[in-house]
Amino acid sequence: MIDKEIYKAIFATAPDAVIVVDSAGKIVKANDRVQQLFGYDKQELINQPVECLIPERYAGTHHKFRDQYMENAKVREMGIGKELVAKRKDGSEFYVEISLSPMKAGEEHYTSAAIRDVSEKVVMQKQLKSSMEALANKNKELEQFAYVASHDLQSPLNTILSLVALMRREHKGEMNKNENHYLQLISQTAGRMSSLIKDLLDYSRVGREEERMQTTDCNRVVADVLKDLDASIHESQAVIEVGSLPVIQASATELRRLFQNLIANALKFRKPKVTPHVTIGVKSANGDWQFHVTDNGIGIEDRYKEKIFMIFERLHPSREYDGTGIGLAVCQKIVQSHGGKIWVESKVGEGSTFYFTIPG
């Protein structure tokens, strides 16, 4: 007896609207939430076809799905992956999630359906999806702009550089000290602008290659990078230690640029009169590969640890340390386009460790 009371109470007070439908699709029972959700009086619904709770445009196909369900009735979600819509008594519509379960009472087969209003969730998901699409489009536009602008700026700049070279050649010996100096300044500044534009072009190219993921041996990538940096390693007498690195799925070209930028920075931002010591290694962390490039260089103040990854952000004038301030922005773009993260830990005067992850 108590059991019966409990079941009744569960049905009556369930947070979901619950209806019980017979094998012919007629509603035989409905709880209080049905009344609140659909605006019908509970009694009004009894003996009505369940299709009265569905917008007319779906009611026709619902018969078919109902028959199919009866043939293979089991507990399941209805319309997985689809947006289900229900209709109130006043004709207004709302999004729902529905769980179905078959029941048998005596000889008759029934289906109980627990219906939950998920309109708010669906509307929010739609808003989120459209904002994300808008953001992705804007990003694409911006990248396209950076690409076209840097590409188109390069050629007039090359003309300036060649004209300056021509003037210096043709008027050699005719110009006074000041004129010579001005021309030298023009070519230096144009040269710097050309490097900035070239780096911007490189930055906007990251991630453009399609089918770029390939099986990549990081040992090989780092060995190639060290060969490229041979001159500055030699000149600084740096000690470089490389641990055993994995073979991963990545863009080999981008991975090479990533290591190149990090190791080049580790050598560049060294302390005066101290032999640079750089270690490169990896560990596995939560299913990702976590790489690190550690140096014993000048270090980075806490307040700049995020800023340095932004485009054109530099902490030193180019006369002190040469560069354009794009290297780490490129690194971040490469890592993010592989689904990873990049960050730095550092102590001023002691050195820095740049970490990045690549999904394993």
230-239: Cβ within 8 A, 24+ apart: 232/264, 232/267, 232/268, 233/267, 236/267, 236/270, 236/275, 236/276, 237/275, 237/276, 238/267, 238/270, 238/275, 238/276, 238/277, 238/278, 239/275, 239/276, 239/277, 239/278
Rounded Cα distance between 161 and 216, Å, is 39
What letter would DSSP give residue 338? Answer: T
Per-residue binder mask for ligand ADP (CB under 6 A), 303-332, x = binder:
-----x----xxxx------xxxxxxx---
* Number of helices (H), then strands (E), in the chain: 10, 13
> CB neighbours of 321 closer than 8 A, spacing ≥ 6?
268, 269
Distances (CA, A) of 164 to 152, 160, 167, 170, 176: 20, 6, 5, 10, 15
- CB 291 → ligand ADP: shortest distance, Å? 14
Question: Site for ligand ADP (CB under 6 A): which residue of 263, 298, 334, 342?
Answer: 298
Considering beta carbons, is residue 14 or 311 the nearer one to ligand ADP?
311
Q: Does the footprint of ligand ADP cover residue 276 (CB under 6 A)?
A: no
The yes or no reply on residue 203 touching ligand ADP (CB under 6 A) is no
CB of 33 or CB of 257, closer to ligand ADP: 257
| CB closer to ligand ADP out of 71 and 235 | 235
Residue 254 or 295 with smaller CB distance to ligand ADP? 295
Q: What single-letter amino acid sits at 266?
A: A
Which range of residues in 52-60, 160-168, 227-235, 296-304 is near ligand ADP by CB under 6 A? 296-304
Q: How far is the CB of 322 from ligand ADP (least distance, A)?
A: 8
The backbone region for 141, taken as left when phi is positive above 0, alpha when psi lies in -120 to 50, beta otherwise, is alpha
Shortest distance in whole angstroms from residue 262 CB to ligand ADP: 7
Interface characters, 124-153, with ligand ADP (x: CB under 6 A): ------------------------------
Give residues 341-360 in contact with ligand ADP (rule: CB under 6 A). 352
Closest distance to ligand ADP from the beta carbon of 231 (Å) = 17
What's the closest the beta carbon of residue 158 comes to ligand ADP, in angstroms? 22
Tokens of 133: 């699409």
Neighbours of 80 (CB within 10 A): 8
Q: How far is the CB of 150 from ligand ADP (least distance, A)?
A: 16
> Is position 269 an interface residue for ligand ADP (rule: CB under 6 A)?
yes
Residue showing the smallest CB distance to ligand ADP in the complex? 323
Cα(273)–Cα(278) distance, integer angstroms = 15
Nearest to 113 by CA among 89, 82, 84: 84
Q: Is 248 in the site for ligand ADP (CB under 6 A)?
A: no
CB of residue 235 to ligand ADP, shortest distance in Å: 17
Q: Which residues pair with 19 in a beta bridge?
A: 30, 113
> Which member of 201, 297, 338, 355 binds ligand ADP (CB under 6 A)?
297
Among 31, 216, 261, 357, binds ligand ADP (CB under 6 A): 261
**Binding region for ligand ADP (CB under 6 A):** 261, 265-266, 269, 295, 297-300, 308, 313-316, 323-329, 352
